[in-house]
Chains A and B, each alone.
Chain A
Amino acid sequence: MNNIISTLGLYLSYPFVQYALIVGVLVALCASLLGVSLVLKRFSFIGDGLSHVAFGALAIATILHVTNELVVMLPITVLAAILLLGASNNAMIKGDAAIAMLSVGALAFGYLIMSKFSGSTNVSADVCSTLFGATSILTLTITDVWVCIVMSALVILAFILFYHKIFAVTFDENFAEATGIKAKAYNYMIAVITALVIVLAMELVGSLLVSALIIFPALSAMRVFKSFRMVTICAALLSVLGTVTGMVISILASTPVGASIVAVDVVIFAVFSVIGLWKR
């Protein structure tokens, strides 16, 4: 036991571990807040879809030799998010199919462009690290951390200020629109924030983890709690708990960070499912 604590203490004294913890917790918080609304709107796969779009954009940025990849990635991903979430009601291709199409298509094109034009010798490793975030969360700079803190503060602030509107638009878009709420505008807002969170989080923790952080905490909370407020609060707490636990495990057992966090989230979901059944 003492051994474990001293190992943890040693690791926690490294700045890169501290950075990873701060960024991980913040990303988890933002993703889970958005996740409740996205899961309920039947957009669980948006994290996957948009991060694949961002990957495609990243490939384009790489071959264009753009120094700051975000300049290319952000606009393209925001646009994709607006197309997917904004036109949800009367779109030609409905939600899940549209996401699947965009996701697979963007991934294929991204991989194609990268393997054809990239100078790198090991393309599949590059792709793998984009998807799983391999070691990127452990190589954060202090600038990354500050960008993340500012963005998270903005996302959380927007969520608190527009909480009731987000609830209304998620529960019943038509009613909101009919009684004079600008449902479309709020949908666009949710889309833009989602895209921002996903692009930033993908750089930091990989796209697999982003999707998991959007889906799992929300679904776990929904097993047990019965009001939107409690589900939201619980999802945020579970997300942070899962992320911290996953990171600690990955430090102690030297497992991959992203995969460890997702594994913990799966366990939490199982536990909450059982509690949900028992409470009924």
Chain B
Amino acid sequence: MSQIVCKNLVLGYEKHAVAEDINFTVNQGDYLCILGENGSGKSTLIKTLLGLTKPLSGEIQFGDKLSAKEIGYLPQQTLTQRDFPASVWEIVRSGCLNRIGFRPFYSAAEKEIAKENMELLGITSLARKCYRELSGGQQQRVLLARALCATRKMLLLDEPVAGLDPKATAEMYEVIYELNQKHGITIIMVSHDIMAAVPYASHVLHLSNKPLFFGTKDDYIKSPVGQIYAASAILHTPKKEAEEHE
């Protein structure tokens, strides 16, 4: 049973289709990289997976104990957030909000979850710092920790390295890879940074209004589409940290 199965999905707004014929499956522990240029329907696909927009036709099935509301989401930064006065601690624990129901305050257990996730991402020392004063890489770690508070099953990352410098970018990819390998968290990452993103992925979905390719990374690299876009990506092989540890 797969976590997500998309069947003949047509995406768009108000009857205007942006992308169609989308078929793919995501299994527990996969690292799916969704590639495509701007306007290829990536953002719409994200919003549809998250349930923020409805597909025009086709269906998304959730399975393997994953429900539609259990996708941790790492959004792109918004204008509002750039000067938002909030401490790291306040933001991370807000990921626990979907557990508290009508209770007005966080329980000790929820605060513990928030602390664990901050520890995991190495931002415990930043807890009292103001979000707007952090570096781009640190901000992304904060939002990742928040997403992990919401769910430990699946993370959906929207251009997680946009605006980061090369060092922070490399670190971010390592962190995400570690979450996937060590903690078995399913990753769906949207990116147009083909060279850097593909080496870590297990599967690739290449969108261009229609899917040009869906399959494993190894097949993608051999495919005509992949040959064009990702030929040099093979040169980058990720550090297999998880394997070294075992």
- Asked whether A178 lies within 8 Å of B104 as measured between CB atoms, the reply is no
Would you list which residues of chain A between 139 and 166 have a CB under 8 Å from chain B?
Answer: 160-165
Say if the beta carbon of B80 comes within 8 Å of chain A.
yes
Q: How far is the CA of A180 from the CA of B98 in the complex (A)?
A: 6
- Asked whether B73 lies within 8 Å of A178 as measured between CB atoms, the reply is yes
- Asked whether B97 lies within 8 Å of A41 as measured between CB atoms, the reply is no
Residues on A with C-beta less than 8 A from B50 are 174, 177-178
Say if the beta carbon of A181 comes within 8 Å of chain B.
yes
Say if the beta carbon of A116 comes within 8 Å of chain B.
no
Q: How far is the CA of A181 from the CA of B71 in the complex (A)?
A: 13
- Given contacts A164-B97, A172-B78, whether A179 and B69 have CB atoms under 8 Å apart is yes
- A75 CB → nearest B CB, Å: 28
Residues on A with C-beta less than 8 A from B79 are 42
- Asked whether A167 lies within 8 Å of B75 as measured between CB atoms, the reply is no
Say if the beta carbon of A40 comes within 8 Å of chain B.
yes
- A280 CB → nearest B CB, Å: 9
- Asked whether B71 lies within 8 Å of A178 as measured between CB atoms, the reply is yes
Residues on B with C-beta less than 8 A from A41 are 80
Would you list which residues of chain B between 68 and 111 have a CB under 8 Å from chain A?
Answer: 69, 71-73, 75, 78-81, 83-87, 89-91, 94-95, 97-98, 100, 104-106
- Asked whether B87 lies within 8 Å of A164 as measured between CB atoms, the reply is no
Say if the beta carbon of B39 comes within 8 Å of chain A.
no
Say if the beta carbon of A171 comes within 8 Å of chain B.
yes
- Asked whether A167 lies within 8 Å of B104 as measured between CB atoms, the reply is no
- Per the CB 8 Å criterion, the residue count for chain B at the interface is 36
- Asked whether A175 lies within 8 Å of B86 as measured between CB atoms, the reply is no
> Among A163, A179, A221, which residue has its beta carbon within 8 angstroms of that of B151?
A179
Residues on A with C-beta less than 8 A from B71 are 178-179
1/0 contact string of A175-219 vs chain B (CB within 8 Å):
111111100000000000000000000000000000000000000
Residues on A with C-beta less than 8 A from B84 are 40, 171, 228
Residues on A with C-beta less than 8 A from B73 are 174-175, 178-179
- A94 CB → nearest B CB, Å: 11
- List the A residue with the shortest CB-CB distance to B156: A178
Q: How far is the CA of A167 from the CA of B92 in the complex (A)?
A: 12
- Asked whether B52 lies within 8 Å of A174 as measured between CB atoms, the reply is yes
Say if the beta carbon of A111 comes within 8 Å of chain B.
no
Say if the beta carbon of A120 comes within 8 Å of chain B.
no
Residues on B with C-beta less than 8 A from A40 are 80, 84-85
> Among B81, B83, B100, B106, which residue has its beta carbon within 8 angstroms of that of A172?
B81
Q: How far is the CA of A168 from the CA of B95 in the complex (A)?
A: 8
- Asked whether A171 lies within 8 Å of B85 as measured between CB atoms, the reply is no
Say if the beta carbon of A222 comes within 8 Å of chain B.
yes
Say if the beta carbon of A226 comes within 8 Å of chain B.
yes
Contact residues of B with A, CB < 8 Å?
A: 50-52, 69, 71-73, 75, 78-81, 83-87, 89-91, 94-95, 97-98, 100, 104-106, 128-130, 133, 146-147, 150-151
Beyond A40-B85, A179-B71, list 12 extra A-B contacts (CB 8 Å).
A40-B84, A41-B80, A161-B104, A164-B94, A175-B146, A179-B69, A180-B69, A181-B98, A222-B85, A225-B85, A227-B89, A231-B85
21 contacts between A and B (CB under 8 A): A40-B85, A164-B94, A171-B91, A171-B94, A172-B78, A172-B94, A174-B75, A177-B51, A178-B50, A179-B69, A179-B71, A179-B151, A181-B97, A222-B85, A226-B133, A227-B86, A227-B87, A227-B89, A228-B84, A228-B87, A228-B90
Contact residues of A with B, CB < 8 Å?
A: 40-42, 160-165, 167-168, 170-172, 174-181, 221-222, 225-229, 231
Closest 7 CB pairs of A and B: A226-B130, A180-B69, A227-B87, A178-B50, A179-B150, A180-B98, A228-B86
